[in-house]
Chain A
Amino acid sequence: MSAVMVGSAPQHHFAARALRHPSFAIGAALSLLLLVAAVLSLVWSPYPPADIDIPSKLQGPSAAHWFGTDSLGRDIASQLLVGAQASILVGVFAVLIGFSIGAALGLLASARGGWVEEGVMRLSDFTFAFPALLSAIMLGAIYGPGLLTGIVAIGIFNVPVFARVTRGAANAIWAREYVLAARAAGKNRWQITWHHVVPNIASALIVQATNQFATAIIAEAALSYLGLGTQPPMPSWGRMLNEAQTQMFQAPMLAVYPGMAIVLAVLGLNLMGDGLRDLLDPKLARKR
């Protein structure tokens, strides 16, 4: 009993601090809203998002259609709800690709040093010259546009971001005295990486993952707006904006709602990331 209490005390302390942190609290609430929208839309939406109803086209907000309807009579609220799925799907997989490859490369660079480190860093510099959009243009030109093209293009761009952050954070850990002690005790560099480096850089990587998730949502929306990302009939906020642009003079609000959804989702993740950075960094936490 006492062991449980001792073990959970720091967690309670962290949760209490987190809830009192304005950035984190607002960010977490907005991120939760995004997640709830995506999960809820898997089982329920006011209307099937792709259902066309021409007689009801371009209606304003009402009890039947909370945010009105588009030029084909499709319910905007339903499309916004289901559109959250594409954002989360692309965000999760693009961050996973970047995280798994980038963090592995960063750890390798830090553990080996020398030409391996130099090579990984030059590769990172090089990949920065290819923003997600350029990768998506190349992939889209060959394999055609689609959700996968978007995920791969954004994921590739995330690789050097994670590689740099991981290598920077890991190098700082390798300089610590307890790592020297572990080396003196006979642990090899991979054991040190796994037992000492990874646990100590995890918080920096979590913060970076949150920020890259936000970046991925904007990138997905841009690619879908251009027709390179999510394809019909799956709704996406970016494509909703593209379609709304043709109706700007008749129904200007159609171009406002999806943008607001993107901003709230990205703002939520960024605020949560900023909050996490403060909460997980003891130096910053003490200053607060």
Chain B
Amino acid sequence: MSVFLLKRFATFAATLLVASVLVFAVLDLLPGNVAQVILGDTATPESLAALEKKLGLDRPAMVRYTDWIGGLLQGRTAQSHSYDTPTAALIAERLQVTLPLAVMAMVLTVLIGISAGIFAAARQNKAGDVGVMGLSQLGIAVPSFWFAILLILLFAVKLQWVSAGGFPGWTEDDGGGLWEGLVALLLPAVALAVVQAAVLARWTRSSVLETLREDYVRTARAKGLSRRAVLWQHVLRNAMIPVLTILGLQFAFLISGTVVVEQVFVLPGIGRLVFQAIANRDLVVVRDVVLLLVAMVVIVNFVVDVLYAVIDPRLKTSDA
């Protein structure tokens, strides 16, 4: 493994470690007494003591932290006090909605954003370019959750093609199925993707235009390659490097967006779980969900770094 990747892996591991300490500090230490937060100001000392014992709050913070992380590494999680179920089981169940939604939204974002960006760059300053850039400027200004509401207004209220929300489940036993599940996630994924694609289209356009100005592109054109051939064979691979960075950063926004859009479409995903947990003062669930979401963002950015090395071999050797 190259020095570049080793350095990136060290950064990835350190970021996860610091994130876990911060999440623990904010949700376990900062509130003072978690049992008090859960039970409220009217709790009796006896009930407080009982809950503290049940949650293991009578142990030192360091022991609680190592227990938490050690447990996570062994696939063991704390018990949610409101569901009386291990948080891993709760999260695993909700991820069956959130993960496919995030992946569908990401795929749509890449498809729409990159193709719109290339389309605009290939027609710089012409009507197509101005149209795409105008639409993307508008897209950036539209909150994804409002776009989701507009989609419901059009497809559920006006046209009545789909239901206004809810999720039928992935199996026939749940009353749904693969097709029904995908259909239920399509509008939420479109709502998320359109806004993110607007951002990606602008970056793709400017990156492609910048690469088009490089000397080797002029050389390729001088050798007689058509503009289209140069674009597909030489420009896109190089132009995609900065676009990958943006994709990595966009994933963080996509995860946030997923949490919000799940609320709009009443989808039983991670977002609904965490908001129910906040309402129930179930800090253990909030802690594990937040760490999971941060971990997802960090992992995706690590994968982006690895992809860099694949796309641009100079990175692998530059640090070696």
Contacts and interface: CB of A to CB of B under 8 A. Distances in A.
B283 A248 contact: no
B11 interface: yes
Contacts of A18: none
Interface in A106-121: none
Given A131-B252, A134-B256, A270-B141, A248 B152 contact: yes
Interface in B287-320: 289-290, 293-294, 297-298, 301
A226 B27 CA distance: 20
Contacts of A126: 15, 18-19
B143 A140 contact: no
Contacts of A270: 137, 140-141
A241 B260 CA distance: 13
A262 B253 contact: no
Contact of B281 (A134, A141, A221, A271): A141
Contact of A131 (B30, B37, B153, B253): B253
Contacts of A262: 141, 143, 146
Interface stretch (B93-101, B102-110, B205-213, B272-280): B272-280
A134 B278 contact: no
Given A134-B256, A142-B27, A263 B141 contact: yes
A226 B15 contact: no
B143 A222 contact: yes
Contacts of B19: 126, 129-130
B275 A271 contact: no
Interface string B154-186: 000110000010000000000000000000000
Interface in A199-249: 214, 218, 221-222, 225-228, 241, 244-245, 248-249
Nearest to B260: A222
B5 to A, nearest CB: 17
Interface residues of A, number: 40
B141 A129 contact: no
B88 interface: no
B196 to A, nearest CB: 13
A128 interface: yes
A125 B256 contact: no
**B146, B150, B158, B278: residue with the most chain A Cβ atoms closer than 10 Å:** B146
A171 B92 CA distance: 46
A259 interface: yes
Given A134-B290, A248-B157, A259 B143 contact: yes
Contacts, number: 119
Contacts of A128: 249, 252, 297
Contacts of B149: 241, 244-245, 248, 255, 259
Contacts of A245: 149, 152, 264
A214 B256 CA distance: 17
Contacts of B30: 142
Nearest to A259: B146
A253 to B, nearest CB: 9
A271 B137 contact: yes
A133 interface: yes
Contacts of B158: 252
Interface string A255-274: 11011001100110011000
Contact of B143 (A133, A218, A271): A218
B31 A142 contact: yes
Contacts of B263: 225-226
A225 to B, nearest CB: 6
B225 interface: no
Q: Residue among A134, A249, A256, A259 with the most chain B CB within 10 A?
A: A134
A122 interface: yes
Contact of A129 (B15, B164, B264, B281): B15
Given A125-B11, A125-B15, A128-B249, A241 B256 contact: no
B23 interface: yes
Contact of B146 (A133, A241, A249): A241
B111 interface: no
Contacts of A140: 278
Given A129-B297, A131-B256, A133-B260, A255 B153 contact: yes
Interface of B: 11, 14-15, 18-19, 23, 26-27, 30-31, 37, 137-138, 140-143, 145-146, 149-150, 152-153, 157-158, 164, 249, 252-253, 255-256, 259-260, 263-264, 274-275, 277-278, 281, 283, 286, 289-290, 293-294, 297-298, 301
Interface of A: 122, 125-126, 128-134, 137-142, 214, 218, 221-222, 225-228, 241, 244-245, 248-249, 252, 255-256, 258-259, 262-263, 266-267, 270-271
24 contacts: A125-B15, A128-B252, A129-B298, A131-B253, A131-B255, A133-B259, A134-B294, A138-B23, A142-B37, A225-B145, A226-B260, A226-B275, A228-B278, A245-B264, A248-B152, A248-B153, A256-B150, A256-B153, A259-B150, A263-B138, A263-B142, A263-B143, A267-B137, A267-B141
Given A141-B27, A245-B264, A248-B164, 8 more contacts: A133-B260, A137-B286, A141-B286, A227-B275, A252-B157, A259-B143, A262-B146, A263-B142
Task: Enumerate the 5 nearest inter-chain pairs by beta-carbon distance, A residue then B residue, closest first.
Answer: A259-B146, A267-B141, A266-B141, A133-B256, A131-B256
